[in-house]
Amino acid sequence: MDNRPIGFFDSGLGGLTCIPYLMKALPEEKIIYFGDTARTPYGSKATSTIMNFSREIADFLVMSNVKMIVIACNTVSATCLEDLRERFPQIPILGIIDPAAKKVAEDFGSDDNVGIIGTKVTIASKAYERCIDEHEGKVNIHEVACPAFVPLIEEGIIENDIMDLTIKYYMDDFVKNNDLDAVILGCTHYPLIKDNIKRIYPDLEIINPSSIIVNDIKKVLEENDMLADRSDFRNVFYASDLSENFINMIDHIFENESEEAKVKFLNFDLERGEGK
Ligand code: DGL
């Protein structure tokens, strides 16, 4: 048993899409979340920059005494997972890509077409394709980067024509030309536009890694005898720039919870993250 919190991080508010699933599956667990809202988006930046930012955040989470780190960001999982595991061998570190890749490898076969939408960095890394291969998946994979989604979502431009047009701009030909059966939301911001995608492409199955990873979190905690049984710790959400949307998202997540989230502002020295 281990009542320390689980550390989650993302480039911004996207990783928050994992939290309701975690709270439902493991209500005793507490969370420290860090959203790097001052430096989002990561998905079009150099790998060395993403690595510097991720190390800073992971250092902060480890100093905050978390028992596990969940990389609630596909871009960081695609580029920095092994580096962070080497840096902190003492705690389990989970990336968001592998659990969803495993599920796709199991659920789809050689007659199926599955699309992956994500940031430029995630798509260029081919991380999903690699993981699906490692799980001996036979499915046909098609990928497209959708770099305008994250800035719009961070601005809260979601339920309107601008977002719908942007989705169609990236996805119309992609869905049609590849005869897609399903699409993986390969960026943790994208569950926030899941309803738009479903409305525009009603026949497309949507695979959401933010919900799938929760089974793996549970499994790793169980295997290491690290499940919490009770905790006096309060959930804490940090942002490097406290945007109104970040606060609104947290209010939204905790709408039906008795628990009250604490939101804090924590700025890093941005100079240090700029190496390319
Ligand atoms: N939410 C992120 C992901 O899963 C990162 C988006 C970004 O910062 O570009 O890839």
Q: What is the mean pLDDT of each run of 10 residues along the chain (276 residues)?
A: 96 93 93 93 96 97 96 98 97 98 98 98 98 98 97 89 98 98 97 96 98 98 94 83 82 65 58 33
Best residue among 33, 44, 75 to mutate for probing ligand 1's pocket (most ligand atoms within 8 Å of CB) is: 75
Q: Is any ligand 1 atom within 6 A of the Cβ of residue 119?
A: yes
**pLDDT on residue 250:** 79
pTM given for the model: 0.92
CB 105 within 8 A of CB 41: no
Residue 197 CA, ligand 1 centroid: distance in Å: 18
Q: Is any ligand 1 atom within 6 A of the Cβ of residue 187?
A: yes
**pLDDT on residue 258:** 53
Q: Is any ligand 1 atom within 6 A of the Cβ of residue 79?
A: no
- Core vs surface per residue 38-74: b (16+ CB within 10 A) or e: bbbbbbebebeebbbbbbbbbebbbeeebbbbbbbbb
Q: Is any ligand 1 atom within 6 A of the Cβ of residue 210?
A: no
**pLDDT on residue 276:** 26
**pLDDT on residue 257:** 59
Rounded Cα gap, residues 119 and 108, in angstroms: 23
CB 143 within 8 A of CB 116: yes
Sign of CA dihedral 192, 69, 250, 52: negative
The candidate with the shortest Cα–Cα distance to 68, out of 194, 178, 214, 190, is: 214
Atom of ligand 1 nearest to the CA of 96: 4
Residues classed as catalytic: 73, 187
